[in-house]
Structure 1
């Protein structure tokens, strides 16, 4: 049995692209990391992580292909995965693009928004990690620009925003809210103050609005709030509030 995954209908309609947003079910990790943890940096057994990532890859039903991963640092740097990219190393970046077939781009998250992108006509794919810093800093715009440099057309790009923490469960406090208002005024509308004693921030909503404003062909939201569904997803904030550790779920996209 393959682990369950969630898909974007628009990307699924492109027969040359395989993708999926995975949650925490269907893996071999145990305890706090049960069960499809895809990160080696949280304290899980490395062998379990390798098995889990392999299971996710096979669930794409494109055969056993390699996965390009980066060390995500909540920045806005985008890497191009070309023939010189060393799959054994994980350079610092928060997004990747490629025109290569036979390789999957992977993003791991546990509340931040994973974004998968594809221009099926040009055969260009991308994957991005958008925490609040990456979102306000323009990681999505940078990823689209990198895809265009490979030959993509933004009018043909399909983007899917995967499971992430919702504004309802993402309290940020006044200091962070003021920092966003001052340094990133374009994101200020996504600070939500109604109904809570402290401000909250809508990262998925911001990314969705950015995608629409950037003029890409189609944008969809996939999945639910990671914090609200600890049975389905890993959530760093939920784990912190419950004095435990969180694994990381993986999102994958590959050319056929």
Structure 2
């Protein structure tokens, strides 16, 4: 398992966690590497092996728990593992139970890992633009507080996601964010005519800070430009590839 790359955040030091890319897996072809996407066209047994490798690299012996992600603002509280076929349709999950590895899958969207060390509560959120503007991180924080976490004791880290320089959007996209809050103008830079560049990571960081948590760390890792290290839906689309892999971010409490 030593070839699996685990990227850790200083903010979450002392908590079992990791942002994983594509290094260290057994997938081949367009999925080459540590593809954990059950919704991809990759062989199920290969994806299963990658998921085992990913979990063991972060929290050995833990049970991996993931969601059927739908770009929502919904968060679920996990008390025990659920079967893969019974995954809730949601985009954030939290727990205070040791031995559970909370996993979020991404391929350009922002993975957010959160922890209140003192309360023993952790969370993970999938923040694509739809979930981010709808408040998925707010939902995750609220669910953590319901388990006994304190907002000012919650630390968060934003893992590999598409960077502003790589994220071109149209004016309709911009107007949607400005209608939500005119101050969102700060997250856009000028692009080619009729387009702009959106800073998803900065937007998610601002939402986390506005929620009143203790600390936010943005890793500054661009999935789009680093093909050797990360999967990217947009890069695969631009390259006219038939499918794309998904990477995982994991956090959990040790027994």
Hey, what's the Cα distance between the residues in 2 that align with 1:186 and 1:130?
A: 19
Q: Per-residue CA shift, 1:131-160, capped at 9, x if unaligned?
A: 001111111111101100000001111100
**Whole-Å Cα distance in 2 between the matches of residues 56 and 121 of structure 1?**
26
Deviation at 1:186, TM superposition (A): 4.9
Q: Distance in 2 between matches of 1:241 and 1:134?
A: 23
Structure 2 distance, partners of 1:187, 1:92, is 28
**Corresponding residue to 2:43 among 42, 45, 56:** 45
Cα 1:114–1:71 shift into 2, 3 Å: same
Report the equivalent of 2:26: 28
The answer to whether residue 87 in structure 2 is matched with residue 86 in structure 1 is no
1:110-149 maps to which residues of 2 (within 5 A)?
110-149=107-146
Deviation at 1:200, TM superposition (A): 1.7
- For 1:50 and 1:86, the matched residues in 2 are separated by 16
Q: Report the counterpart of residue 10 of structure 2 in structure 1.
A: 9
Question: What are the equivalent positions in structure 2 for 1:237-248 lying under 5 Å apart?
Answer: 237-244=234-241, 245-248=243-246
Q: Which SS does the other structure have where 1:250 is aligned? A: strand
- Whether the 8 Å CA contact 2:3–2:23 is kept in 1: the answer is no
Tell me, what secondary structure is at the counterpart of 1:172? strand
What is the aligned partner in structure 1 of residue 93 from structure 2? 96
1:251–1:25 CA distance, 2 compared to 1 (3 A): same
Which residue number in structure 2 is paired with residue 251 of structure 1?
249
Query: Where does structure 1 lack aligned partners over 5 or more consecutive residues?
Result: none
1:233 equivalent in alignment to 2:223? no
RMSD over aligned Cα, in angstroms?
A: 1.4
- How much has 1:57 moved relative to structure 2? 1.0
Write the deviation string for residues 92-132 of structure 1: whole angstroms up to 9, x where unpaired.
00000101100100000000000000001000000000000
CA contact (8 A) 1:2 1:55 kept: no
Write the distance in 2 (CA, Å) between the matches of 1:175 and 1:138: 20
Residue aligning to 1:19:
17
TM-score (norm 1): 0.94
The alignment partner of 1:210 has SS state of helix
Q: CA deviation at 1:184?
A: 4.6
> Hey, what's the Cα distance between the residues in 2 that align with 1:188 and 1:139?
20
What is the CA distance between 1:33 and its match in structure 2?
A: 0.3
1:188 Cα deviation after fit:
3.5
Aligned residues: 250
Select the residue among 56, 61, 64 that pairs with 1:64: 61
Deviation at 1:190, TM superposition (A): 1.3
